[in-house]
Amino acid sequence: MRARRDVLAEGRARRAWLRHPAQLVVAGFLVAILAGTLLLMLPLARSGPGGTGFLTALFHATSAVCVTGLVTVDTPVYWSTFGEVLILALIQVGGFGIMTLASLLAMLVWRRLGLRSRMTAAVETKAIGIGEVRTVIRGVLVITVVIELLTATLLTFRFALAYDEGWGRAAYLGVFHAVSAFNNAGFALYSDSLIGFVDDPWVCLPIALAVIAGGLGFPVWLELIRHGAVWRAWSLHTTMTVSTTVVLLVVGTVFVTANEWGNPGTLGSLDTPGRILAGFFHSVMPRTAGFNAIDYAQARDGTLLGTSALMFIGGGSAGTAGGIKITTFVLLFWVIWAEARGERDVEVHGRRIDDRAIRQALTVALLGVGAVMTATLALVEMTDHALDLVLFEAVSAFATVGLSAGITDDLPAAGQLILIGLMFLGRLGPITLVSALALRERGRLYRLPEGRPLIG
């Protein structure tokens, strides 16, 4: 009898584990990374003789599935066409999966939290309807295909007409970079990324716009399609995401352009339109794409630090961008603003923010800071690289950006494993953490006496 009870308890525990959305997301991405690793280890995936080592394959499979773009080998040289197509497939699977699963989790969390105060008992068994799931998946698919197709078409014509590529090769380059851009992956089929196109608006602008589109997130696109530019009809999430994206793009463009204007190693050799284009491009990429049209190893320390801040913030929720997300950053700003003004409530665009959302934002941001600082300390101790370069690399991995100052392939095996962990944590950590916190929200029948420790 006891053995039977143990078996039943184990079965219930297994079913409960499988029902938890956050755990399903993690398990799904682990399977995708493992499958990608095994396929990249095949001799067919490498252009040279022999197969790829496990660590190299694991690093690039994680970077592709988590749509990061950090690499330890030269993508167009090391990998065969099969390997490149495989990486492209992993990017597409990772990006589509992130947008779909994040949107479904957001919907689940919203419904659970929205109904709880009115129907507590019903909420515990509430699930997303099949029709809604199909709507989300279909919407993400349509948006993905349309934006990637438009971007690929523009790039194909540019590569064919301006760079003397055959139409087949031009189409391949166009599709690869369009998929990599929309999914904010940053993988390129040029050894210097996009440095050769630094002053070409017909290459840089389509890629930059695709990065912005992927970073906004499906919930924002859904509202933009429904309501267009009627911003008064937008939800608080869309208003915060769009407005802050515009502000960060403008501030980032001014900052990068001004800081690197006279640097001959980056923007100094370009004419004025080229410098402005490059400044805008490198304001977009930290959002978190990872393409670079300048050599970050030649960038000034201030640019590296400012870019690290932009990378850490990232893009919109339920999109392909990484970082702590725009809404987290904006919410924390308004928390500070309310506290500085002595306000009791945190109010944003005419709405009072729930205390649970504030706690979740603080949790995501502080855990992100802790992860980056811990990884940076470990990398500094095990390498001879300067602190600013190591911090840049750690933030890039956690925020799933893919920008690098050229030290990725110089890191020891332990350092690469740290970056792998950061990429996985940065991609799935905020999604799973917030959904787990929200779905575990429960009320108490009592409250402890209030305590007020000294702060500051």
pTM above 0.75, yes or no: yes
The answer to whether residue 401 scores a pLDDT higher than 80 is yes
Residue type, 145: V
| The pLDDT of residue 14 is above 90 | no
- How far is the C-alpha of 284 from the C-alpha of 278, rounded, in Å? 10
Half-sphere CA count of 92, side-chain side, radius 13 A: 15
140-159 pLDDT, tens digit each:
888 889 999 999 999 999 99
**Whole-number pLDDT of residue 132:** 58
The answer on pLDDT for 223 being more than 80 is yes
Q: Backbone phi, then psi, for 428, in 5-degree steps?
A: -105, -20
The pLDDT of residue 360 is: 82
What pLDDT score was predicted for residue 128?
A: 40
Cβ(41)–Cβ(54) under 8 Å? yes
Task: Using DSSP, state whether 65 is helix, strand or coil.
Answer: helix
Buried b (16+ CB within 10 A) or exposed e, 413-433: eebbebbbebbbbbbbbbbbb
pLDDT, tens only, 157-208: 999 999 999 999 999 999 999 999 999 999 999 999 999 999 999 999 999 9
The mean pLDDT value of the chain amounts to 85
DSSP class per residue in 90-112: HHHHHHHHHHHHHHHHHHHHHHH
- pLDDT, one tens digit per residue, over 325-368 is 999 999 999 999 999 998 888 988 888 888 888 888 888 899 89
pLDDT tens-digit series, residues 17-46: 445 556 677 778 888 999 999 999 999 999
Residue 388 in tokens: 């600013």
Whole-angstrom distance, CA of residue 260 vs CA of residue 140: 37
CA 143, 148, 150: angle at the middle one, nearest 5?
100
Q: How many other β-carbons are positioned within 10 Å of the β-carbon of residue 440?
A: 9
Residues 185/179/429/384 CA torsion (nearest 10 deg): -10
Rg (CA), the chain: 23
**CA–CA distance, 285 with 361 (Å, rounded to integer):** 24
The helix (run of H) or strand (run of E) holding residue 399 is none
Count of CA atoms in the C-beta half-sphere (13 A) of 168: 0
Residue 351, SS3? strand
Q: 420 falls in which pLDDT band (50, 70, 90)? A: very high
- pLDDT, tens only, 224-250: 888 888 888 888 889 999 999 999 999
* Strand extents, DSSP E, 279-375: 347-348, 351-352
**Using CA atoms, how far apart are residues 282 and 194, in angstroms rounded to an integer?**
11
CB 425, CB 395: distance < 8 Å: no
Q: Which residues contact 281 (CB under 8 A, 6 or more apart)?
A: 198, 204, 208, 291, 293
Q: Are 287 and 318 in contact (CB under 8 A)?
A: no
d(CA 225, CA 428): 27
What's the CA gap between 247 and 221, in Å, rounded? 18
The answer for residues whose C-beta is within 8 angstroms of residue 71's C-beta and 6 or more apart is 59, 60, 63, 187, 408, 409
